[in-house]
Chains A and B, each alone.
Chain A
Amino acid sequence: AQSVSQHNHHVILSEAASLELGCNYSYGGTVNLFWYVQYPGQHLQLLLKYFSGDPLVKGIKGFEAEFIKSKFSFNLRKPSVQWSDTAEYFCAVRSGNTGKLIFGQGTTLQVKP
């Protein structure tokens, strides 16, 4: 069965620090990859997605992620975080054949001003 693993459950950073959140998945076929963010009190919204092409994808608010097929990974990065990036981040994988999204358990990011 497909699964998604986010290794960091709770990350605390100071403003301007660099961020990398890990995401690994288990599925051998074609996958679509997503990072969603949930700000406090708000709904889940898309940060970025990968379907094909350049494995380095850029999203909103300065976030980017790199798809490394050989490592089954799709790590999220941001060179310099801001206090407003405090939120919960979810990695999700969809197999190319179905619409079913499998989510990781999420990473809570706390940025200290």
Chain B
Amino acid sequence: ETGVTQTPRHLVMGMTNKKSLKCEQHLGHNAMYWYKQSAKKPLELMFVYNFKEQTENNSVPSRFSPECPNSSHLFLHLHTLQPEDSALYLCASSPALAGGAYEQYFGPGTRLTVT
């Protein structure tokens, strides 16, 4: 496979459940990102990792917990979510964090519904 993959593609969970979203990039990139895409709102950056180290937490509630075991994999652990957390969660990667003429490559997203 090439590019950025995300699993699962769809997830329905109750407010008391614990689940995890997985992202994998096959591009040899060093920076990875989690975004939240809600209807009628701009994409919101949630977390940034650079060489496995978290460099940004954009005031995300603690019920979202990211994990980056290596530069190719990124997880988003979810627990005790609220219905307003229902959204499309996008993962992206880029060769580096800054300083170069490159773009971010996005995965297809996980459509999350919290009931």
Binding site for B on A (CB under 8 A): 4, 32, 34, 36, 42-46, 49, 51-52, 90, 92, 94, 96-106
Contact = CB atoms under 8 A, between A and B. Distances in A.
Interface of B: 4, 31, 33, 40-43, 45, 48, 50, 56, 90, 92, 94, 96-98, 101, 103-109
Nearest to A42: B108
A103 B43 contact: yes
Contacts of B101: 32, 49, 51-52
A105 B106 contact: no
A97 B41 contact: no
A65 to B, nearest CB: 14
Contact of B98 (A34, A45, A90, A97): A97
Contact of B109 (A43, A90, A103): A43
A25 B59 CA distance: 22
B29 to A, nearest CB: 11
Contact of A34 (B40, B103, B108): B103
A79 B9 CA distance: 35
A105 B98 contact: no
Given A52-B101, A96-B98, 5 more contacts: A49-B101, A49-B103, A98-B98, A99-B96, A105-B40
Contacts of B98: 94, 96-99
B48 A100 contact: yes
Contacts of A51: 101
B111 to A, nearest CB: 11
Nearest to A104: B42
B56 A100 contact: yes
Contacts of A49: 101, 103
A36 B101 CA distance: 16
Contacts of A36: 106
B108 A103 contact: no
A106 B35 CA distance: 15
Contacts of A52: 101
B42 to A, nearest CB: 4
A19 B109 CA distance: 28
